[in-house]
Structure 1
Amino acid sequence: MSSNGADLTFGYTSCFVAILLFGSNFVPLKKFDTGDGMFLQWVLCAAIWLVALVVNLILHCPKFWPFAMLGGCIWATGNIAVVPIIKTIGLGLGILIWGSFNALTGWASSRFGWFGLDAEEVSNPLLNYIGAGLSVVSAFIFLFIKSEIPNNTCSVDTTPLITEHVINKTQHPCSWVDKLSTVHHRIVGCSLAVISGVLYGSTFVPIIYIKDHSKRNESIYAGASQYDLDYVFAHFSGIFLTSTVYFLAYCIAMKSSPKLYPEAVLPGFLSGVLWAIATCCWFIANHSLSAVVSFPIITAGPGFIAAMWGVFMFKEIKGLQNYLLMILAFCIILTGALCTAFSKI
């Protein structure tokens, strides 16, 4: 197998692993009370940073570029809305919506050279455009899929996945999400999912910017590494730093009485580890395939995995109409992913 063929195989394999983990990383949290999500965000980001530390040591501590931390800041800002999204429109639909807008933003910034990036070329631009366009179409279909989330309850579900009758008896005050009406649930959840998706789609921009400008002798980034994984530690450090700042601001706003949920610590840590591994695979896919190819594939795929959890495990999505819409959306996503993949060949 040629070097290029090996890169493509490695890249698509990394995409598959990333899709599987991104679609499942919030599952450990689904059965635990997470409140307003601020404490959970910090726990999850602490786990992410620890994974980055291990990866950095394995890579023998490549040069640290502070600008790469900006991508982590952007991601952490978008991730604040995850718990409210899950509580309002559900795990499956939430990931489906933010994944679609994530795909569009990440693809467009790389394809057209937004934010000072070099526009990326592919072997078959038409297929690439079709693939990205189908991701947009699928996003609109997902908006019509209705999920059923229990109302007037302070937690998503307090029955853990791995046990049958272990319920934490500590009662926590309801968060602002629990006070919303059914109509507002959907409006707020979908809006936050769109905003998060746009922020998620911008998270790799600083790294790609550094790589692009490393080829210019006059740039301060001249000679920077072209291997995406070398930027993981800086990127994840930005995530942890930003989440810590947000959590401290939250503690101040709560007058040093933040809502802490001890039962969510271990599930949150596991969720963070799964997300970090998936993102490392995404970095590898970006290097092997380029972001203009990896983005539409990796961001659209997790929706299928998440929706399957939502249908079979959590019973969030029900009804023949919803199922038919899901099947249609998945067919569009699959077609779009294949078009994007073949555009590189």
Structure 2
Amino acid sequence: MNNNGTNLATGFISSSVAVILFGSNFVPLKKYDTGDGMFLQWILCAAIWLVACVINLILHCPKFWPFAMVGGCIWATGNIAVVPIIKTIGLGLGILIWGSFNTLTGWASSRFGWFGMDAEEVSNSLLNYIGAVLSVVSAFVFLFIKSEVLGAASFTETTPLMTEHVINTTQESCSGPTYSWVDKLSKTQQRIVGCSLAVISGILYGCTFVPVIYIKDHSKINDSIYAGASQSDVDYVFAHFSGIFLTSTVYFLVYCVAMKNHPKLYPEAVLPGFLSGILWGIATFCSFIANHSLSPVISFPIITAGPGFIAALWGVFMFKEIKGLRNYLLMLFAFCIILTGMLCTAFSKL
């Protein structure tokens, strides 16, 4: 197999692994109460950074570029909303919406050279634009899919919520289960908040690789501060993941201050959260490999749109969040749209 064939095989295999893990990484957390998500965010990012340390040692500690950390900061900011999204509109619908906007943002920034990056040339501009439009259309179809999500009270039947007297014996010792701000919203408010947060998270996720691509593009300019920087995406994994962990730590400390040193901690979510972080870290490492082997214009639509298929399958068959013939038909229609868009975007480069 020639070098080009090897790159294609490596890229598509890495993309497939990333799609499966991105679509499944929140599954371990589904049956555990995670409160407002701030504690979970920090646990998740600690596991991600551990994966980065292992990868960095395997790669023999390539040069650390601090600017690559910015992408991690952007991702961690978008990830704060994950728990409220899952609690309001469900795992499947949440990933489908933020995945669509993730696809559009990542595609547009690479295609048009936003944020100082080099614009990606494609062989067929029409197919490329059709793929981007279909990604947006699919997101609006997902908005009409109604999901049934178990509230905090429902979790007590299988996994008891952590009560205040377990966490802090000095406050509300007899108040029973704790509820986050999400649980106090009406059904309509939850849907509006969940969909809005999913859109914002998707846009932020779509920008997460921008700093790495920027460094690679400017490494070819002799008078640039990034001159001579590595062209291999995986060499930036440790810096990217370090940005994630640093940002999440800052957010958690700010949260502790805002809560007057009484943060809501959920011990039962520690191990599931850690597992979720490891799955995400491996998936992101695979996406770095895919970006290098295929280029972002091809890999990005596949990796960002694909997890929606996996997540929705979990939502239908495991968690029973999506029910009814109407919802199934809408979901099938949305899948067809996003799959068509993904293929159009990919083939426009080939």
Place the TM-score, normalised by the shorter chain, in its bin: over 0.9
Q: Please say if 1:50 is aligned against 2:55.
A: no
Q: Is the 8 A contact 2:162 2:266 kept in 1?
A: no
Q: Please say if 1:242 is aligned against 2:247.
A: yes
Q: Please say if 1:3 is aligned against 2:3.
A: yes
Q: Is the 8 A contact 1:107 1:293 kept in 2?
A: no
Q: Which deviates further from its counterpart, 119-128 or 93-102?
A: 119-128
Aligned to 1:191: 196
Compute the displacement of 1:130 (Å).
1.9
Cα separation, 2, equivalents of 1:327 and 1:38? 34
Unaligned runs of 5+ in 2: 164-176
Compute the displacement of 1:127 (Å).
2.1
Aligned to 1:315: 320
Amino acid at match of 1:233: F
Question: The residue matched to 2:24 in structure 1 has which SS?
Answer: coil
Q: Please say if 1:168 is aligned against 2:160.
A: yes
Compute the displacement of 1:150 (Å).
3.0
- Select which of 222, 234, 248 maps to 1:217: 222
- Select which of 270, 278, 286 maps to 1:281: 286
Compute the displacement of 1:129 (Å).
2.0
Cα separation, 2, equivalents of 1:128 and 1:288? 19
Q: Is the 8 A contact 2:72 2:241 kept in 1?
A: yes
Amino acid at match of 2:6: A
Compute the displacement of 1:158 (Å).
5.2
Aligned to 1:251: 256
Aligned to 1:139: 139
Shift of the 133–317 alpha-carbon distance from structure 1 to 2, 3 Å rule, reads same
Q: Is the 8 A contact 1:31 1:158 kept in 2?
A: no
Cα separation, 1, equivalents of 2:212 and 2:67? 8
Q: Is the 8 A contact 2:25 2:276 kept in 1?
A: yes
Q: Which deviates further from its counterpart, 120-129 or 88-97?
A: 120-129
Unaligned runs of 5+ in 1: 160-164
Cα separation, 1, equivalents of 2:122 and 2:16? 21
Cα separation, 1, equivalents of 2:161 and 2:331? 36
Q: Please say if 1:229 is aligned against 2:234.
A: yes
Q: Is the 8 A contact 1:42 1:240 kept in 2?
A: yes
After TM superposition, the score normalised by the length of structure 2 is 0.94
Amino acid at match of 1:237: S
Compute the displacement of 1:128 (Å).
2.1
Amino acid at match of 1:313: M
Aligned to 1:269: 274
Compute the displacement of 1:154 (Å).
5.0
Q: Which deviates further from its counterpart, 140-149 or 232-241?
A: 140-149
Tell me which stretches of 4 or more aligned residues in structure 1 moved more than 4 Å. none
Cα separation, 2, equivalents of 1:272 and 1:57? 19
Question: The residue matched to 2:306 in structure 1 has which SS?
Answer: helix
Cα separation, 2, equivalents of 1:187 and 1:272? 27
Amino acid at match of 2:331: M
Q: Please say if 1:343 is aligned against 2:343.
A: no
Percent sequence identity is: 81
Q: Is the 8 A contact 1:89 1:147 kept in 2?
A: yes
Q: Please say if 1:17 is aligned against 2:17.
A: yes
Q: Is the 8 A contact 2:162 2:178 kept in 1?
A: no
After TM superposition, the score normalised by the length of structure 1 is 0.95
Cα separation, 1, equivalents of 2:89 and 2:115? 32
Aligned to 2:307: 302
The root-mean-square deviation of aligned C-alpha atoms, in Å, is 1.3
Q: Which deviates further from its counterpart, 167-176 or 255-264?
A: 167-176
Q: Which deviates further from its counterpart, 1-10 or 233-242?
A: 1-10
Cα separation, 2, equivalents of 1:291 and 1:341? 10
Aligned to 1:66: 66
Aligned to 2:334: 329
Aligned to 1:123: 123
Cα separation, 2, equivalents of 1:264 and 1:292? 36
Q: Tell me the alpha carbon deviations over residues 245-272 of structure 1, each in whole angstroms, 9 at most, x when there is no partner.
A: 0000001111111111110000000000
Compute the displacement of 1:124 (Å).
2.6
Shift of the 257–240 alpha-carbon distance from structure 1 to 2, 3 Å rule, reads same
Q: Tell me the alpha carbon deviations over residues 279-324 of structure 1, each in whole angstroms, 9 at most, x when there is no partner.
A: 0010011111111111111111101100011011111111111100
Amino acid at match of 2:187: T
Q: Tell me the alpha carbon deviations over residues 167-214 of structure 1, each in whole angstroms, 9 at most, x when there is no partner.
A: 336434100000001110000000000000000000000000000000
Aligned to 1:149: 149
Cα separation, 1, equivalents of 2:71 and 2:339? 28
Aligned to 2:37: 37
